[in-house]
Amino acid sequence: MLKRDLSSDFAISTDQEEFLIPSRVEGVAGKLMMLIVAILICIGVVIVYSSGAGWAENKYASSEYFLWRQLVFSVLGITTVLLVAQLDYHLFWKTSKIILVASILLLATLLALKAVGRISGAARWIGFGPIKFQVSDFAKYAVIFHFSRLLTEKQSYIRDLNNSYYPLLTILLTVVALVALEPNFSTATLIALIGFMLMFIGGVNIRHLLSTVSLLIPIAAVFAIAAPYRVARLLSFTSKDEKEISYQVVQALIGLGNGGLFGLGIGASKQRELYLPLSYNDFVFVVIGEEYGFVGAVAVIALFAGFFVCGLIIAKHAPDNFGKYVASGITMAITLFAFINIAVACHLIPTTGVALPFISYGGTALLLNSLGVGILMSISRYKKRVIEKSAQLGVAERSME
């Protein structure tokens, strides 16, 4: 006998009823994640205003330009989380192939526009006027959704080379290659890392993964040093001479040093005043460290660590493999981007153009990450929703007797 969730095509057998009882830790993880994301978004509004006021005054003749845009997208982001949390996350199972194909077509379109001269420089954004978004952010989620579906469908023969591993690898390398050619080497590397971690979690043969990685590392290294600006970043990172370290890194380290233990205070950052490029985006963590000190910086790191733990708990208690893989992928993606951004600001890795999730200025990235959080919330609430609908169905059946 089957009890079917009316909002999806996924049936739950009666011997799974005990598994469907939501655990207390799962409910706490979902609520705590929502609180963490809300705090991070609020921090983002404050820091973007503080770090971008001077730049906005010079460029847009209004010190509040970034503030109002970030505030609008923050409200939209929280609304997105609340709305998506009400959806059945299996919707992304049904649409994963469409989303993946759309992302590949958009990435190919960007490269075509660049080839014919319609886009100069890096081909990363698509859209018209103020409505633009970074396609690689969309592609990242497309890979997570479709990989989660394929790993679930192929679970019975997941270690097979031809029928399982090669199809997954082909999809991943297609997306990664298109993103790398924009060029956006850092995001391409992160998408590849997310894909390989999902395959590892899904049970793909570890020897296949290691063999592929051993082949891709030399190729990635050659691609990395093929561009002079990437070579300059690597040389700057490895140099022990302060004069050879990049201007951005020097200003970032000065800013973090200025903050001390408790910081200079709200709005008191010195580096943000036209010294530190992209202080409201790629180097927003530096402003946090300067204004709120070591304590404030550690607090932000702790929030992302809490997000990571909550995401893992939601993935562990997901009602099915698709939910587990989607939750794992989204959690890894957001946490990885946060770690990379913070590591760059602290001069732990070479400079890359990766934003700090929920905090850095940027509308589409905030909305897509909010979509991811909404899906995590949907997964955490799925068991409770199934039980509630089963109860409603039972009441309806009894009333008809």
Residue 214: other Cβ atoms inside 10 A: 9
Residue with tokens 């990664």: 176
Q: Which residue has the higher pLDDT, 25 or 171?
A: 171
| Mean pLDDT value across residues 171-200 | 94
Q: What is the pLDDT of residues 260-300, one digit of tens each?
A: 999 998 888 887 766 777 788 888 999 999 999 999 999 99
| Residue-level pLDDT at 28 | 86
Q: Which residues of 5-64 form beta strands (DSSP E)?
A: 11-13
Q: Which amino acid is at 391?
A: A
Q: What is the pLDDT of residues 101-118, one digit of tens each?
A: 999 999 999 999 888 888
Q: Where are the domains of the chain?
A: 2-400
Mean model confidence pLDDT for the chain = 85
Q: What is the pLDDT of residues 344-362, one digit of tens each?
A: 989 888 888 789 999 998 8
Is residue 365 within 8 A of residue 355, CB to CB? The reply is: yes
128: β partners: 131
CA distances for 19 relative to 137, 201, 349, angstroms: 34, 21, 43
CA gap 246, 160 in Å, rounded: 47
Q: Which positions ≥6 away from 55 have C-beta within 8 Å?
A: 66, 274, 279, 280
Q: Which amino acid is at 208?
A: H
pTM for this entry? 0.90
Percent of the chain exceeding pLDDT 70 equals 86
Q: Which positions ≥6 away from 4 have C-beta within 8 Å?
A: 10, 11, 12
Q: Which residue has the higher pLDDT, 1 or 113?
A: 113
| Residue-level pLDDT at 118 | 81
| Residue-level pLDDT at 170 | 97
Q: What is the pLDDT of residues 120-134, one digit of tens each?
A: 767 777 876 667 788
Q: Which amino acid is at 48?
A: V
